[in-house]
Structure 1
Amino acid sequence: MQTERLLLRAFRLDDAPVLAAYRSDPQVARYQSWDAPFPLRDAVAFIAGLDGRDPRAEGWFQYAIERTQDGLLIGDVGVNRHDLGRQAEIGFTLEPRAQGHGYAAEAVRRVVDHLLVGEGLHRVHASVDGRNARSARLLSRLGFRREGLELQSGLGEGGRQGRGKRPDDARYAVLASEWSRSPSAESAPD
């Protein structure tokens, strides 16, 4: 899939060092389910696990976000299809230097449009660490509605190790019938 500035594609094995680097950044990992540092061997295993996976199949598929102007890998968007393919959960991560330039909004909007319009899914939802105000604002700007707050259901600071207090998980969703009315956020900063 392409946007004006991005290519959303399958991960390649040669992406592993960049994936490991941005997922190892504590500022990137703090609201995510993995621990920092994210070793290169884990990045290689993660990419190998995606190899040959059909992005339309149930379960997780991760799109690499590549900037078309220079071919740099700057992040990823995950899609977890379920409910016999009628719904999907999304998640997104950008490396720090790519944040604040509208890339996340552009990538997420393209993926959600593909799911709801291109493939006819009924609903797309996201779970955001309650402390992650930037991601919550991005989803709201794209037309997602906040559906609720799950108290102390998230992972603690530091990913899987769960250090610290368990944060709240904010739930966001958009229906296909709502998506056609959602505002454009192609150039809005993340």
Structure 2
Amino acid sequence: MTVAVEQHRPGRASRQASKIGGRIPTLDTRRLQLRAPRIYDFGAYADIFCSDRAQFMGGPFTREEAWASFTGAIALWMLHGHGLWTIDAQTTPSAGFALLGFDYADPEPELGIFLTEEAEGHGYAEEAGRAVLDHAFNALGWDTVVSYVDGSNVRVIALLTRLNATRDAAAETALGDGTQVYRHRQEA
């Protein structure tokens, strides 16, 4: 069940939101487009975060908690110049989400990729991850990005390994909560 805040409201405010969203960089890959999130993408976001798919991200969330996460990740664009993208695949709109995030307690920004169940197994996560890292290193001028991972999330660890990330023991010690930290560095 959707509530009023999740529904598109046509008019001036909606057009203004489209203009703001148009300022978020679009990243195109061979098979994907990473674009500004729109209100109708929330259904896919909630499907991910309100399910067992969110078990390694503090979930499953309530729909209201998923809304807070969704809007907070989008707000990062206004506050830090990076945030959440919707991943559109050629045959699967709203296939998932890519994030250059910065949670309140995080010591530094992180890369996160969240796919819908239907989008898994096609290599989209790696393709999106490479596009986001390229943006972080080349457009934003960053030297490094981290990914925070639960040690039992073997699928994400395999993805991060394919993205050439390596464990950062010093960052893990500084966090001190058992989270594994994988560091992405710009490749020479």
Instruction: Give the TM-score taking structure 2 as reference length.
Output: 0.70
Q: Identify the residue that residue 112 of structure 1 maps to in structure 2.
A: 133
Selected match of 1:175 from 155, 170, 185: 185
Q: Identify the residue that residue 54 of structure 2 maps to in structure 1.
A: 29
Bigger share in helix: 2
Give me the whole-angstrom Cα distance separating, in 1, the residues matched to 2:138 and 2:74: 26
Selected match of 2:114 from 74, 89, 93: 93
User: Is the contact made by 1:128 and 1:135 (CA closer than 8 Å) also made in structure 2?
Assistant: yes
Highest relative contact order (Cα 8 Å, sep 6+), 1 or 2?
A: 1
Amino-acid identity (%): 30
Give me the whole-angstrom Cα distance separating, in 2, the residues matched to 1:48 and 1:135: 24
Q: Identify the residue that residue 165 of structure 2 maps to in structure 1.
A: 144
Give me the whole-angstrom Cα distance separating, in 2, the residues matched to 1:130 and 1:109: 22
Unmatched tracts of structure 2, length 5 or more? 1-26
Instruction: Give the TM-score taking structure 1 as reference length.
Output: 0.70
User: Is the contact made by 1:13 and 1:47 (CA closer than 8 Å) also made in structure 2?
Assistant: no
Q: Identify the residue that residue 20 of structure 2 maps to in structure 1.
A: none
Give CA-to-partner distance per residue, 1:109-151, whole Å, 9 cap, x none.
Answer: 1000111123211111111110011111111111111112559
Whichever residue aligns with residue 17 of structure 1, its letter is: G
Unmatched tracts of structure 1, length 5 or more? 154-167, 181-190
Give aligned pairs, total.
155
Give me the whole-angstrom Cα distance separating, in 1, the residues matched to 2:74 and 2:126: 26
Bigger share in strand: 1
Q: Which deviates further from its counterpart, 114-123 or 57-66?
A: 57-66
Whichever residue aligns with residue 132 of structure 2, its letter is: V
Give me the whole-angstrom Cα distance separating, in 1, the residues matched to 2:32 and 2:165: 22
